[in-house]
Amino acid sequence: MYRVAALLVMVAGPAVAQAQAGGDWPDLPVYAPAPRDPDAHLSIVIPIRPEGEPVVLHVAPEGDDAGDGSLARPVASLTRAQQLVRALNSSTDVTVSLAAGTYRLAEPLRFTAEDGGRNGHVVRWVGEAGAFPVLSGAVEVDGWTLFDAPRNIWRAKIAPGTDARQLSVNGTLAQRARIEIPRSAVRFAPWGLELLDPAWRTLAQLPQQDRIEIEGMSWFTHRHAMVARISGDRIEMQQPGWRNNLIGYDTLARPISQEVARLFLVNSRAFMREAGQWYADPEEGWLYYRAEPGDDMAAASVEMPVLERLLSIGGTLEEPVRDLEFSGLAFRNTSWLQPSGAEGYASQQSGAYIAGDLADYPDDPIRDCSWGCPAFERMRNHWRQQPAAVQVSAAVRVVFSGNHFSQLGQIALGIGNNPEAHASGVGLAAQAIEVRGNRFEDLAGGAIMAGGITRDAHHPSDSRMGLRDIIVTDNCITGVSHDYKEQAAILVTYASGAVIMHNTISDTPYDGIDVGWGWGINDPGGSAEYFRWHRSYYDDPENLVYDTPTILRDTVIVGNDVSNVKQWFPDGGAIYHLSADPGALIARNYVHDVAGTGGIAIYLDEGSREVRVRENVIDRVGGVWLNLNSQDSIKPRRTATDNEATENWYNSGRLQGDWSAYVNNVAARNVAVEGQQWPEGAREVMAQAGTRTDACTLSAR
C-alpha cells in the first residue's frame, strides 16, 4: 500500500498538496480545481476524428499513366488515378490533386463504393489552388473557314456521325439555329402539324427533315418533338414523342395561355438567321456557325460535346459510395441527346417528362386530354427525370465545394433522382450530400435537382431509398435553363431535412427555388381535387390514397438572395413550395426584381401544409408577394392548410389565397413598406442574404 502511495505522489508532482497520513492510512494527493470560468461554454469545441496526413496522388495533362502519382511522376488520366486510389483508400485518406489544364474524358467517370473512403477514411478530388482544372466531355473544333461571306457563316470539319444539342463558343453556350413560327400558321393534329399558311410550305424543300425539331412553350412547360417528314402542307412528327406532348396540362396544342405561348422550328441550316447560331451536319461531317460581324472564327475556341454525362457516383443500397469529396474543379461540356430522337422531351415541369407508348391513349388527345385524362393521370408515378451531367445516388457523405459548373447540356448536378436518371441504375438513396460554395452558370438545364418522383421516392419501399440531409448552401447560380426553360435553378422533390441556405440565384427563365412534388396527391388522405372526374388520378388502382405521409418534411429555405427569375413563364414563384412539408421554414430570404404583372415572389401551391413563411423581404415584384393556391373551387374541402405567414416585409405585390381560420392559414403582422423605406430588420435581412463565400467570383481558366 505504501508503494502505491509513493507512486501517486510521484505522479501528482510537487504542485499537488499532500494529505498527512494518519494511522494506517497512506498519504493521498489533494486536488484543488481552478476557479470555474462562467464563460467557458462559449469556447467548447466538440472533438472530431483526427485526420492523418493523406496520401496525395498527382494528375497532370502532361503526366504519364506509367507514373506512380507522385509530384515528380504524375499520372495523366483520371481513370488511372482511380485505380491508384483503390489500392490506398482502405487504410488512409487519399487526395487526388489535379494540375491546371483540360482533362478530356473518353467516357464518363463512374464512382462506386470502392472509389470512396473506406473504413472511415475520405477520398478527395481537388484542383490545384486557383487552377480549376476542367473535366470536359467535348472535343475541340478548329480549322474554321469562311463558308458564306454575306451572312458571315463559317464551317469546320467534325467526325461523321458527331452530333450535339449544345455548342460552346469562346466559353459560352451558343444557340442552335432556330426561327419562330406563329401558332396561327398551323393546326395541331395527333400525327403532326397542318400548315395553314401557304408561305410555310417551303419547309418541304429542306433537306434532312428528320433532324428538325419543334419547340413549344407556354405557362410552365417547354416541350420538344422531332419531325419525321414534311410534304406539302403536312409536317408529320416522330412518335411517341409528339403524341406524349399533346396530353396533360399546358400542352403543345392547347397551352394554358395562348397569349404567352410560342412555337419554334429548330435545327436546320436554313434557320441560321441570327449571329451566334450554329448547326451540325453529322452526315456530311460539317459544323456551321454564324459569327458576329468582324469575328474571326479561325481564332475562336469552340467545344462540341461528345459525352452525355461526366460523372456517375453510385453504389448499391447494401454498399453505397461513402466519404467522397470534389473541390476546385470545373465541370464542362455535355449534351443529353434523347430529345433529338423519337421520344423528344414531353416536358411536364422541372425536368420531369413522359416517355414511351401510353395505354388507353385517347382517340382525340387534343379534345379529350388537354386538361388531364385517365391515360395521363395513370402515368404520374412513372414520369421520368432528365439525367444530370454529374449524378449522385446510393451515396452517403458526398461533398461538392468550390467547383464551377458551366456549359453543360442538361441539369448540372442530380442527387438521388429516379433510377433511369442515373447511369448506375440505382437512383434515390442519397444521405448527407453537401453542395456548398459552387458556381453554376451558363447551363442548358437547371443547376441542382434532388429527389425522385416515383412511388419509391415519396413512400420508399426500403428505408434506405429515402433522401435525407441534403445541404445546399452558399452557391452562386446565374444564367441557367437556357434550353430547358421549365427547370428551376434548385429543385428538391422529396427529402427529409433538406437545407437550402444563403444561395445567390439570378437570371433564370423559371423559378429560383422549388421544393416539393405531387400536388398533394401522395399526402395522407390524398387530394380531393384529384378525385374529380376531370382529374381521375385515383381511378387507377395503382395510384393509392396513402394514410402515411411522404418523406418530405423539415425543409429549411433561409437567407437566399433570389432575383430576376421567372423571366419566361408566368407560373410558379421565385420561391415555390408544393405539398405537405411538416416543419418547413421559408425565412429571411431577399426576393427582388421579379418583373411582369404575373410575377410571384413566394408561392405555396397545391397541398402545401405546415409551412412557415417568416421575415422575408419582397422588393419590386410585379404581381403577388405571397400566393397560396387554396383551391377555393372545391370548398368546403380543404387542401392547403395550417400555413403561417408572419412578419414579412414587402413594397409591392399583393397577398393572394385563403388566409382564414377555416383552413387555419394565418397571415399576420406583415408590413407594407413605401418604396425603399425599409426598417432596420428588413435591411438586416437584405444585407445578410445570399452567398457568404466567393462563389460568385469563381471562374475556371
The 10s digit of each residue's pLDDT in 446-498 is 999 999 999 999 999 999 999 999 999 999 999 999 999 999 999 999 999 99
Q: In this predicted model, what pLDDT tens digit does every residue of 130-170 receive, in sequence order? A: 999 999 999 999 999 999 999 999 999 999 999 999 999 99
Whether residue 256 has pLDDT greater than 80: yes
Buried b (16+ CB within 10 A) or exposed e, 412-438: bbbbbbbbebbbbebbbbbbbbbbbbb
The tens digit of pLDDT for each residue in 572-593 reads 999 999 999 999 999 999 999 9
Residue 81 lies in a domain: no
Instruction: Write the CA distances from 446 to 466, 479, 493, 656, integer angstroms.
Output: 22, 9, 14, 28
Structural domain of residue 288, as residue ranges? 138-177+273-305
Q: Is the pLDDT of residue 217 over 90?
A: yes
CA distance 338 to 325: 30
| Whether residue 150 is found in the same domain as residue 196 | no
Q: Is the pLDDT of residue 232 over 50?
A: yes
Do 426 and 573 have their domain in common?
yes
300 and 173 assigned to the same domain: yes
Backbone phi, psi, residue 367, to 5° = -80, -40
Domain CATH number, residue 423: 2.160.20
User: Is 328 contained in some domain?
Assistant: yes
- Are residues 287 and 254 located together in one domain of the fold? no
Give a yes or no: residue 153 inside a domain: yes
Same domain, 542 and 480: yes
Between residues 700 and 579, which one has the greater pLDDT? 579
Q: Both 188 and 154 in a single domain?
A: no
CA separation (Å) from 252 to 71, 509, 535? 57, 18, 19
Strands (E), 149-249: 153-157, 168-169, 172-173, 175-176, 178-180, 186-189, 192-195, 213-217, 222-231, 234-237
Say what percent of the chain tops pLDDT 90.
88
> Does 223 fall in a domain?
yes
627 compared with 24, residue with greater pLDDT: 627
pLDDT reported for residue 51: 61
Chain-centre distance of CA 254, in angstroms?
28
pLDDT value at residue 598: 74
What digits encode the pLDDT tens for the residues 538-550? 999 999 999 999 9
The mean pLDDT of 678-697, rounded to a whole number, is: 96
Most confident range, picked from 102-106, 294-298, 423-427, 529-533: 102-106
Give the model's pLDDT for residue 40: 53
pLDDT at 38: 57
Question: Which DSSP symbol is given to 378?
Answer: T
The band of 7, judged by pLDDT with boundaries at 50, 70 and 90, is very low
**Nearest Cα to 287, choosing from 305, 307, 308, 304?**
304
Q: Is the peptide bond before 160 cis (omega within 30 degrees of 0)?
A: no
Task: Examine residue 123 and state whether it is found in any structural domain, yes or no.
Answer: no
Same domain (yes/no): 318, 278: no
Q: Is the pLDDT of residue 208 over 80?
A: yes
Do 439 and 554 fall into the same domain? yes
Whether 298 and 241 share a structural domain: no
Identify whether residues 250 and 396 lie together within a single domain: no
Across the chain, what does the average pLDDT equal?
93
Q: Is residue 688 part of a domain?
A: yes
The confidence score (pLDDT) of residue 536 equals: 86
Structural domain includes residue 67: no
Instruction: Judge if 161 and 182 occupy the same domain.
Output: no
Q: How many domains does the chain have?
A: 4
pLDDT at residue 535, as a whole number: 81
Q: Please indicate, yes or no, if residue 207 is contained in any of the structural domains.
A: yes
Q: Are residues 256 and 330 in the same domain?
A: no
